[in-house]
Amino acid sequence: MDKFLKITSAILLFVAPYAVTTPLYFLFKNYLTPELSFALHREALGAAISSYSGTLVAVLIAALTFLLGVRNNNFSKMQRYGYMLSIVTFYALTFVELGALFFVGILLISNLNQLPLPSISMVIAITSFLHLCLLTIQLINLSNKK
């Protein structure tokens, strides 16, 4: 049960930004700027989204390397109490999210027009940035020598 709780907490922390970004995106798109459309330049958006996700994967790898290199009291307490599983799960979910974002970017370049891919890509891109911010805050807190 303890392992299940730690994985569930990482999943909830991963899903929480989607509960914020999805309604805000559609509020912004439908009410604040209804003339804004990403569908006219799908190829450019697809290329930008694919390169964005590839760059964030590289940043996540660097952050994970930094995380594994941190050896202080905060990190040892986190390992001792078993919270590494939550952190690794959150990183894994973020890697999967960025992989999905990359393929959405590739699909934007293709001739697939049935799905609202520009909206999907924008929501995932904004949320992945929030995930990166959460992971950065976590790294800063873990690297403090308190």
Q: By C-alpha distance, which of 89, 86, 106, 96 is closest to 127?
A: 96
Rounded to whole angstroms, the Cα distance separating 144 from 17 reads 25
Instruction: Report the pLDDT value the prediction gives residue 113, as an integer from 0 to 100.
Output: 82
Q: What pLDDT digit, counting tens, does each position of 105-128 carry?
A: 999 998 888 888 898 999 999 999
Please check the confidence at residue 146 and state whether its pLDDT lies above 70: no
Instruction: Report the pLDDT value the prediction gives residue 81, as an integer from 0 to 100.
Output: 83
Whether pTM > 0.85 for this model: the answer is: yes
Q: What residue segments make up the domains of the chain, in order of their start? A: 2-31+42-143
Q: By C-alpha distance, which of 133, 125, 123 is closest to 51?
A: 125
pLDDT band at residue 84 under the 50/70/90 scheme = confident
Please check the confidence at residue 140 and state whether its pLDDT lies above 70: yes
